[in-house]
């Protein structure tokens, strides 16, 4: 009798299973798959020299910002996944008294590494973009500071006047060993390209005129994306130091992210410049935008605020078949360092703080001497 009941139960379950292909397919999809790779992309942007959770104007700690806070989010986000990449989207050298003190008072001495790049080296950034404010202190200062950066520095739309070639490295293809869902090693070539607003020729005319010119962002992207693909990029990430707007495109468009998402071959966009938060309610009326998944024109996009107050996170699911990679899914969100009341959500990265403490203290002491 017991055997008959067991047999009947087994037969019933089999019939239910066969009648429910969606159920069986869903369960199959949850199983680890060879050739399927989960890749996390992390972004900081518009740090504006806010390395420390400190307000130099008020002479007090402020836990609402600071890379020493964002760093803890970086560690957490990395520990949650097997594969991750970390990028900065520009405007990291200028924007507070620390940046001003280092550029205008102390300067960059031979053999010394700017604390922003020391911090980036310590945290293991995979590549960084140049923002428009990196140009504010002049090209000589920027070139001296960049010698301390151990990661690729990219920008594609700023050109040398005399040689008519990119002033910076326009793009880089990062060869990375990644682990697929079954734990097998795969090789992924990640193309990374950078952009900044062409308005730099107006904003920094005194520093740049006769030395460089700026090309339109979207036109430059359309030029380089096919080249990057031909050079072997499996996926392409845009470090776009430019904002998000669906206003009609024209060559001098300052906020070009929306139109970058329409370019075939660009798989994810890290946005910046306008200090906004994407996905976020500010963009609720943006056409072809999904704030739940963090997509614009079906492409994942993230903009992580400013001053290190948030970490941008894009999660991609990639599939490789016969050596060809395809993005199956992409979602984006940001993680804050403090809640809406300013209460800290993460601890300070003490190791990073010790690494940049001297310059921070020099800045504090200098402000005190000025009686400010």
Q: What is the predicted pLDDT for the residue at 372?
A: 64
Q: Which is nearest to 275 in space by CA: 18, 24, 97, 45?
A: 45
Tokens of 274: 């306008």
Cα separation, 139 vs 130, whole angstroms: 12
Average pLDDT, the chain: 92
Residue 4 confidence (pLDDT) above 60: no
Q: What is the per-residue pLDDT across 123-171, written as a single tens digit (0 to 9) for each?
A: 999 999 999 999 999 999 999 999 999 999 999 999 999 998 999 999 9
Tokens of 193: 């390209």
Burial 240-260 (b: 16+ CB within 10 A, else e): bbbbbbbeeeeeebbbbbbbb
**Residue 172 host element (H or E):** strand 171-179
The residue-averaged pLDDT of 360-372 equals: 91
Fold of 33-369: Purple Acid Phosphatase; chain A, domain 2 (3.60.21)
**Phi and psi (nearest 5°) for 271?**
-100, 165
Question: Domain ranges in the chain?
Answer: 33-369
């Amino acid at each position: 009798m017991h055997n008959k009941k067991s047999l009947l139960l087994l037969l019933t379950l089999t019939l239910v299973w066969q009648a429910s292909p969606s159920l069986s397919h869903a369960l199959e999809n949850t199983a680890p798959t060879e050739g399927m790779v989960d890749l996390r992309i992390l972004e900081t942007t518009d740090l504006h020299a806010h390395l420390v959770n400190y307000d130099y104007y008020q002479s007090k700690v402020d836990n609402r910002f600071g890379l020493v806070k964002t760093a803890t989010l970086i560690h957490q986000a990395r520990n949650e996944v097997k594969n991750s990449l970390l990028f900065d989207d520009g405007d990291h050298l200028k924007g507070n008294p620390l940046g001003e003190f280092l550029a205008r008072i102390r300067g960059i001495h031979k053999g010394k590494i700017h604390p922003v790049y020391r911090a980036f080296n310590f945290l293991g950034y995979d590549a960084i973009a140049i923002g428009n404010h990196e140009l504010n202190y002049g090209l000589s200062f920027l070139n001296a500071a960049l010698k301390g950066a151990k990661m690729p520095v990219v920008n594609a739309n700023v050109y040398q006047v005399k040689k008519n070639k990119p002033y910076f490295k326009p793009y880089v293809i990062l060869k990375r060993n990644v682990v697929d869902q079954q734990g097998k090693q795969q090789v992924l070539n990640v193309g990374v390209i950078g952009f900044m607003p062409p308005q730099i020729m107006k904003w920094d005319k005194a520093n740049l005129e006769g030395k460089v010119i700026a090309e339109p962002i979207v036109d430059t992207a359309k030029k380089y994306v096919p080249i990057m693909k031909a050079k072997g990029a499996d996926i392409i990430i845009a470090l776009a130091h430019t904002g998000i707007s669906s206003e009609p495109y024209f060559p001098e468009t300052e906020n070009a992210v929306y139109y970058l998402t329409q370019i075939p071959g660009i798989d994810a966009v890290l946005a910046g410049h306008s200090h906004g938060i994407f996905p976020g309610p500010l963009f609720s009326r943006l056409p072809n935008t999904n704030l739940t998944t963090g997509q614009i024109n079906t492409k994942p996009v993230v903009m992580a605020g400013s001053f290190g107050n948030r970490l941008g996170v894009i999660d991609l699911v990639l599939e490789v078949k016969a050596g060809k990679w395809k993005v199956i899914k992409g979602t984006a969100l940001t993680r804050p360092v403090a809640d809406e009341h300013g209460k800290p959500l993460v601890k300070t990265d003490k190791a990073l703080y010790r690494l940049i403490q001297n310059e921070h203290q020099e800045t504090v002491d200098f402000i005190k001497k000025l009686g400010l």
